[in-house]
Amino acid sequence: MRMMASGKKQKNGSAGRKAKKARRKKVNDLRLDMQGDEHEEGGGGRSESTESSAGGGVGGERQREHPFVVTEPGEVARAKKNGLDYLFHLYEQCRLFLLQVQSMAKLHGQKSPTKVTNQVFRYASKVGASYINKPKMRHYVHCYALHCLDEDASDALRRAYKARGENVGAWRQACYAPLVDIAARHGFDIDAVFAAHPRLAIWYVPTRLRQLCHQARSAHDAAAAHAGAMPPPMF
Amino acid sequence: MRMMASGKKQKNGSAGRKAKKARRKKVNDLRLDMQGDEHEEGGGGRSESTESSAGGGVGGERQREHPFVVTEPGEVARAKKNGLDYLFHLYEQCRLFLLQVQSMAKLHGQKSPTKVTNQVFRYASKVGASYINKPKMRHYVHCYALHCLDEDASDALRRAYKARGENVGAWRQACYAPLVDIAARHGFDIDAVFAAHPRLAIWYVPTRLRQLCHQARSAHDAAAAHAGAMPPPMF
DNA sequence: AGAAGGACCAGTGGTCCGTA
DNA sequence: AGAAGGACCAGTGGTCCGTA
């Protein structure tokens, strides 16, 4: 028996969405393949720091990628886990796929994407990089952003969170604050910060990060107003 | 009795679309207002070259804008017609609406459009500029582009087409060729041409114009290859 | 016939939530 | 519990075609 979830969310900082239809239609409910209960990939043991350790056995259901763990720079994740160097490597791969898509589009006189779009994710899947998917890449964009913008800070954060034994979710949350600080030094304009970095400019600014920068600016402006000297608004 | 049209089109230079449902549902078929057969706006006679001469009477059905006619620069269109200065003025208005939307978005920490998007058209309607709509603006973008990029050529074309008594559709078609020539001087990169002009950069490159530039490049490359010296491909 | 624009549709950005 | 990602939805870009 499954409960019907209500499905609230905040679309892009504006008012909430209108009524949604009931979701999750449970496709693919009947298994036609020979999967029994559980199975694991047969081979094993690739272990470059930027190599996945996920499944990929011949035939059968596609395995999920192994979950990420907080690793130090250069550290190889242990069995059934992927490290953060590998995570960041996925962003580099997406960039290369974007470059491919752009080249093909221009060759054929079609409009060329400037960002990693659905089209790019579709291309990645088509050429076999099925371990790349949109929800995952969007989920960790800001972590990659910190890695791009301040690798030392990013590395330090990884070491600290690994030392404390924090899980990936906690590390991911912790990546926001240093980014807001960086944005603050650029007038809280996180779009400008992304746009100014060539490897970052191809990624959409995550909604949550944008919200946090906006909140920080409001707090900053309020504090300045309280201090007496009201600065002119940024826009 | 109305025939069911088949509804073919070329999506963005790629393969044709998949099957479409039957279109046109004929909403708003019953009139609840007091319109009889025909009606015209009561007042009259505004006649600045960038002022519309379309309806806007109090209450009742919204009048369509008057059709465009080919006018010389500075020329005022006669009754029930709008001139080309007015057309180009609409593009300037859209730019101002975009600037408004951008300012509001940034104030609220939301993502800010870089182009004239649906959001901008919605804003234009909301603030009363209901004479601005997406199909119209997209239809004439390349005409506005020529006006921006080579006003002398644009003016000359207008005078020539007016002198010949051509209709707006013919003039509109004629705007493509000079633009392709301009693109040719920039490596056939029409996107770069648009992007380099501040008032043009906010408009999407029309599909048809992009196709024509692509075709021209192909023809150009083929001619060069035939001449013996094969140049390197642009991308 | 020529033209303006309401309304449609395929595919997008964004992310929820059923799943492992 | 923590996490990966299939699948969904609101709103987009693009323009057709019923309308005046």
Cβ A12–B110 below 8 Å, yes or no?
yes
Cα separation, A156 vs A171, in Å, equals: 11
Q: Using one digit for the tens of pLDDT, what is the confidence trace for A140-175?
A: 999 999 999 999 999 999 999 999 999 999 999 999
Specify if B23 maps to a domain: no
Instruction: Report how many domains make up chain A.
Output: 1
Q: Which amino acid is at A165?
A: G
Q: Is the pLDDT of residue B58 over 70?
A: no
Q: How many percent of chain B have pLDDT more than 90? A: 67
Average pLDDT score, chain A: 81
Strand D and B185 CB separated by under 7 Å: no
Specify if A62 maps to a domain: no
Nearest CA to the C1' of D9 belongs to which residue?
A: A20
Q: Is the pLDDT of residue A129 over 60?
A: yes
| Backbone Cα Rg of chain A | 21
Specify if B130 maps to a domain: yes
Q: Using one digit for the tens of pLDDT, what is the confidence trace for A198-233?
A: 999 999 999 999 999 999 999 999 888 877 655 555
At B30, phi and psi to the nearest 5? Answer: -100, 130
Specify if A120 maps to a domain: yes
Cα separation, A17 vs A6, in Å, equals: 12
Cβ B210–A103 below 8 Å, yes or no?
no
Predicted local confidence at residue B229, as pLDDT: 58
Specify if B207 maps to a domain: yes
Find the CATH number of the domain harbouring A176. Answer: 1.10.4180.10
Specify if B109 maps to a domain: yes
Mean pLDDT of B210-214: 98
Q: Greater confidence, B156 or B55?
A: B156
How many helical (H) and strand (E) elements, i.e. helices and strands, does chain B have? Answer: 9, 0
Cα separation, A142 vs A172, in Å, equals: 8
Distance B22 CA to D18 C1' (A): 13
Cβ B110–A191 below 8 Å, yes or no?
no
Predicted local confidence at residue B224, as pLDDT: 83
Specify if A103 maps to a domain: yes
Predicted local confidence at residue A226, as pLDDT: 73
Predicted local confidence at residue A224, as pLDDT: 84
Specify if A228 maps to a domain: no
Residues 6+ apart with CB under 8 A from B70: B84, B158, B161, B162, B166, B167, B168, B171
Confidence of residue B117 (pLDDT cuts 50, 70, 90): very high
Q: Greater confidence, A38 or B164?
A: B164
Q: Using one digit for the tens of pLDDT, what is the confidence trace for A60-88?
A: 566 899 999 999 999 999 999 999 999 99
Mean pLDDT of A124-139: 98
Domain that holds residue A129: 84-222
